Amino acid sequence: MSVEFEVSGHVARVTINRPDSLNAVDSATHARLAEVWDEVERKPEIRCAVLTGAGTRAFCAGADLKEETGLSGMQYWKRISTSGFSGIALRRMSTPVIARVNGLALGGGLEMVLGCDIIIAADTARFGLPEAKVGRVPLDGGMVLLPRLMPRNIAMGMMMTGRLLEASEMERHGLLNAVVSPEQLDEETDRWVTELLKCAPLSLQAIKAVARQTAHLPLQDAFQYPTRELEAALNSSDADEGVAAFRDKRAPVWKGN
């Protein structure tokens, strides 16, 4: 099974399971990941997801270049330009996603990381977009996302040379939420999961939707921008429950409606 998918306690855990190939994504894995993200979005009981790679060497080394897809570069670009690599880099997912980066995140692997909302990395992880070294370009979101999420010249330097950056460098440039030892990676990831689950799920979806859908807008337009997720959160029973729980000095019981 190239993708492990399990749901427990409102959390979906998604693991790319091809460690012998540094968790590189072939066509079957790509298709399965897209199915998994669709399932995550369909199930309201899933309040956050954690994406990682099997083993300790790699999160994901990107596309499996050993596979012959039969697609030209132009055909591939047209196929993925509306969905993003493995259905996460550019798609509009409402569910918060945490990247648990346990090793190399290269090419499409880094582009999947860029599609996540919170990024926790082992201090042994390394990041890169080496496509130009093999005559390709970072089609799956890297060219448009990386310069928006970290300083432009750092992003351009990564893409135009293919050089790899250590986790400490990526943290310094503002891309990572936390960097810990490999032994602490699960504990740190679970700490973030616990914090997310304490929050109202519709509030998290609204925050994600507004932040992502208004990034290109002038400030006043962004402030007034209506999204389905924002309206749902404002009109939800959870909005009343949160205030009531605060006044009663108790933990809120979220219903997601």
Measured CA angle at 24 (ends 21, 26), to 5 deg: 110
Which of 77, 7, 16 lies closest to 47 in space, CA to CA? Answer: 7
Choosing from 111, 171, 183, 187, the catalytic residue is: 111
Tell me 9's DSSP state: T
Contact 84, 91 (CB under 8 A): yes
Which residues make Cβ contacts (< 8 Å) with residue 234, sequence separation at least 6? 206
Alpha helices in the chain (DSSP H): 27-42, 73-80, 108-114, 142-149, 152-161, 167-172, 185-197, 201-213, 219-223, 228-234, 237-248
**114-150 exposure pattern, b = at least 16 Cβ within 10 A, e = fewer:** bbbbbbbbbebbbbbbbbeeeebebbbbbbebbbeeb
Choosing from 35, 67, 131, 195, the catalytic residue is: 131
Burial of 249 (0-12, 13-18, 19+ CB in 10 A): exposed
Distance, CA of 17 to CA of 52 (rounded, Å): 9
Contact 170, 151 (CB under 8 A): no
The answer to whether residue 111 is catalytic is yes
Residues designated catalytic: 111, 131
